[in-house]
Amino acid sequence: MPSRAPALLVLEDGRSFTGYAFGAEGETFGEAVFSTGMTGYQETLTDPSYHRQVVVMTAPHVGNTGMNDEDTESSRIWVAGYVVRDPARMPSSWRSSRSLDDDLRDQGVVGICDVDTRALTRHLRERGAMRVGISSTETDPRALLARVLESGEMTGANLSEAVSTPEAYVVPAVGERRFTVAAIDLGIKSNTPRMMSERGIDVHVLPATATIEQVEAVAPDGLFFSNGPGDPAATTGQVELLQAALEREIPYFGICFGNQLFGRALGFGTYKLKYGHRGINQPVMDRTTGKVEVTAHNHGFAVDAPLEGETQTPYGKASVSHVCLNDDVVEGLELRDDAGNLKSFSVQYHPEAAAGPHDAAYLFDRFVYLMEGRA
Ligand SMILES: NC(=O)CC[C@H](N)C(=O)O
């Protein structure tokens, strides 16, 4: 085990915690959020939706199975910082090729360990998500607090273009191609195009700046917007793109950020949750079937839409399709024509989740049915 330098964590409301450097030494800032997933730390770290967030793990022992080459959701670790109670001293798995500590250090990601993550999580739950700083170079909490207060806020942050692919690429259908989808990368996770390609879809992944002409050039059967970091209220270009696609009657499916932008395209607002939903066991009801799914979540914002009834929009009738049973937050939206046929839909949670429950994988099939015209 490496010898560790002392480190300091300071929240923007002045509460501080001490611990030891984990991963890279140095200083980092971001929005402090907690994740309750007991497994899947590699997928969490490499999820681009965590850009500019410092993730606190409520699982007390992190890193047990090391890091491997198969489970990454993107090409790098995206979290701005990482907070754990007790890092594994001896990672062990037949798939592991390096330790979590090494990967964090190699990628320059500053973390802190030996923190009372239970007290920190309870504090965030009571006071809400807030800015935080972690440092192994600063010993004075007041000096670190001053820098925390100067760091950027999540509210108002437009981050999609910072994480999106610079170039378009194609993930080809496995077996015979049945459909073509234009997928806008707002921070896409690798498992999303994979789950589409397994259903006979050629996935054309396009940058966040794609225009409606670039979408149409792909001649898509459907349009998809991915998950991604930042405040949906600060993203206007992609909302206009989605509205242009809805005007052209292109079937749409969105995940997480893609649900929030669908909500905005339909005329609803979005708002910041007190401390968000991050974990892999959140109960959600699909109101079209009445079934309850156990689902993976990672969102700090939510759509403000009426839970009951339909809302007439320029594109059809919109309604809330899925609701979180913990707190009644909107977890899905759908758009239907006057005859009641499904035109487009989206979910706030993660049917592509890995690690995670697979209850929601049917939503990729629903997208296929939608493109077939039999949803
Ligand atoms: N995973 C996501 O797509 C997150 C969406 C948005 N950034 C939020 O925090 O709510």
Question: Which one of 31, 293, 331, 352 is the catalytic residue?
Answer: 352
**Residues near ligand 1 (Cβ within 6 A):** 49, 227-230, 256-257, 298-301
Query: Is 326 buried (19+), middle (13-18) or exposed (0-12) by CB count in 10 A?
Result: exposed
- For ligand 1, mutation pick of 262, 275, 299, 303 (most atoms within 8 Å of CB): 299
| Rounded CA separation 52/229 (Å) | 8
Q: What is the pLDDT of residue 2?
A: 59
Rounded to an integer, the average pLDDT of 294-321 is 98
In the predicted model, what is the mean pLDDT of residues 186-194? 97
Residue 326: pLDDT band with limits 50, 70, 90: very high
The per-residue pLDDT of the chain, averaged, comes to: 96
Number of residues that make up the chain: 375
d(CA 220, CA 179) in angstroms, rounded, equals: 8
Active site residue 138: no
Break the chain into its structural domains and give their ranges: 6-150, 160-372
Q: Whose CA is nearest to atom 3 of ligand 1?
A: 227
Ligand 1, atom nearest to 186 Cα: 3
Rounded to two decimals, what is the model's pTM? 0.97
Give the atom of ligand 1 at the shortest distance from the alpha carbon of 227: 3
Q: Which atom of ligand 1 is nearest to the CA of 231?
A: 7
Residues 6+ apart with CB under 8 A from 164: 185, 186, 187, 207, 208, 209, 228
Whether residue 173 is predicted with pLDDT greater than 60 in this model: the reply is yes
Work out the average pLDDT over 333-356: 94
Q: Is-contact 38 59, C-beta < 8 A? A: yes
CATH of 160-372, one of 3.90.226.10, 3.40.50.880, 3.40.50.300, 3.40.50.1580: 3.40.50.880
- From the CA of 230, how far away is ligand 1's center (Å)? 6
Whole-angstrom distance, CA of residue 90 vs CA of residue 241: 49
Packing angle, helices 237-247 and 257-265, rounded to 10: 70
Asked whether the ipTM of the predicted complex exceeds the cut of 0.95, the reply is: yes
111: tokens are: 């973390």
Span 92-129, pLDDT tens digits: 999 999 999 999 999 999 999 999 999 999 999 999 99
**Active site (annotated) includes residue 113:** no
- Asked if residue 1 has pLDDT above 80, the reply is no
10 phi/psi in degrees, rounded to 5:
-130, 125
Q: Which CATH code is given to the segment(s) 6-150?
A: 3.50.30.20
Residue stretches of the annotated binding site for L-glutamine:
49, 228, 230, 257, 260, 298, 300-301
Q: Could you say which of 73, 256, 297, 299 is catalytic?
A: 256
What residue's CA is closest to ligand 1, atom 7? Answer: 229
Phi, psi of 154 (to 5 degrees): -75, -40
Structure tokens at 114: 């030996």
Binding-site residue set? 49, 228, 230, 257, 260, 298, 300-301
Closest CA to 239 of 266, 216, 220: 266
Q: Tell me the per-residue pLDDT of 267-291, one tens digit each, with 9 for 90 and over.
A: 999 999 999 999 999 999 999 899 9
Identify any residues that bridge with 109 across adjacent strands, giving them in sequence order: none
Annotated active-site residue 352? The verdict is yes
Nearest Cα residue to 122 out of 32, 43, 230: 32
Query: Ligand 1 pocket check: which of 47, 73, 78, 260 to mutate, most ligand atoms within 8 Å of Cβ?
Result: 260
Report the 3 state secondary structure along the chain. CCCCCEEEEEECCCCEEEEEEEEECCEEEEEEEEECCCCCHHHHHCCHHHECEEEEECCCEECCCCECCCCCCCCCCCECEEECCEECCCCCCCCCCECHHHHHHHCCCEEEECCCHHHHHHHHHHHCCEEEEEECCCCCHHHHHHHHHHCCCCCCCCCHHHHCCCCCEEECCCCCCCEEEEEECCCCCCHHHHHHHCCCEEEEEECCCCCHHHHHHCCCCEEEECCCCCCHHHCCHHHHHHHHHHHCCCCEEEECHHHHHHHHHCCCEEEEEEEEEEEEEEEEEECCCCEEEEEEEEEEEEEECCCCCCEEECCEEEEEEEEECCCCCEEEEEEECCCCCEEEEEECCCCCCCCCCCHHHHHHHHHHHHHHCCC
pLDDT grade, residue 226 (50/70/90)?
very high
User: 159 CB contacts (<8 Å, ≥6 apart)?
Assistant: 51, 52, 187, 228, 229, 230
- In this predicted structure, the answer to whether residue 22 has a pLDDT above a threshold of 90 is yes
The pLDDT of residue 374 is 75
Q: Ligand 1 atom 5: the closest Cα is on which residue?
A: 257
What is the C-alpha to C-alpha distance for residues 164 and 152, in angstroms, rounded to an integer?
20
